[in-house]
């Protein structure tokens, strides 16, 4: 039996339909040049088909995609736990992309080890860390405002106490009326008429 292709695809794509035919023994032998040309055509079609299929693939490799999904699925923070049902789902998805189950389990183990050592953080853990840092900055700002208010209040209090303790001013101690009279008298006693 031999595989005969009819109706070749356009633009180097695979044929639309193929047929299996039984080759007869009495058929004329094919020359090596024709076989070599047919093989070159077959290889070119295979390359064109792979290129056509590869254009729709993502820019990341299946290993990177599996690692990203594993990081998103990790539970338990630094414990880096992947529950069995999640692990099965991830491995099944990796097998659909062409990975062997052993390779998928190796990628999952590497991601879990990196998460346990703090080299990668699941998104929820990153959000929690970002939230904690935001709360810490807010607390620092509030403490700074409280310290400034206390310092300002202390300065006002000290100024008031100093003013009260100082007693009458030097003008008042001299016996001159305050504010000075409007008639222009410069003496310390009221002017008589």
3-state secondary structure 135-162: HHHHHHHHHHHHHHHHHHHHHHHHHHHH
What 3-state DSSP class applies to 173? helix
- What percent of the chain has pLDDT above 90? 27
Res. 193: pLDDT tops 50: no
**Helix (H), strand (E) at residue 36:** helix 32-54
**Averaged pLDDT, 79-103:** 91
What 3-state DSSP class applies to 75? strand
Res. 152: pLDDT tops 90: yes
Q: Residue 163: pLDDT band by 50, 70, 90 thresholds?
A: confident
Q: Residue 89: pLDDT band by 50, 70, 90 thresholds?
A: very high
Res. 86: pLDDT tops 80: yes
- Read off the pLDDT of residues 109-124 as tens digits, 9 standing for 90 and up: 999 998 888 888 766 6
Tokens encoding 99: 């990975």
């Amino acid at each position: 039996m031999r595989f005969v292709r009819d109706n070749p695809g356009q633009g180097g794509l695979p044929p639309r339909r193929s047929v299996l035919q039984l080759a007869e023994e009495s058929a004329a032998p094919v020359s090596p040049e024709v076989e070599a040309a047919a093989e070159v055509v077959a290889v070119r079609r295979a390359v064109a088909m792979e290129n056509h299929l590869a254009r729709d693939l993502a820019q990341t490799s299946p290993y990177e995609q599996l690692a990203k999904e594993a990081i998103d699925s990790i539970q338990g923070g630094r414990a880096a736990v992947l529950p069995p049902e999640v692990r099965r789902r991830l491995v099944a998805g990796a097998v659909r992309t062409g990975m062997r189950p052993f390779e998928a389990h190796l990628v999952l183990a590497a991601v879990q080890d990196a998460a346990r050592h703090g080299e990668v953080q699941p998104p929820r853990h990153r959000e929690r860390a970002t939230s904690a840092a935001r709360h810490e900055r807010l607390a620092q700002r509030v403490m700074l405002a409280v310290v400034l208010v206390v310092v300002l209040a202390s300065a006002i209090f000290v100024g008031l106490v100093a003013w009260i303790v100082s007693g009458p001013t030097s003008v008042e101690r001299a016996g001159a009326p305050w504010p000075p009279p409007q008639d222009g008298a410069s003496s310390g006693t009221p002017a008589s008429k």
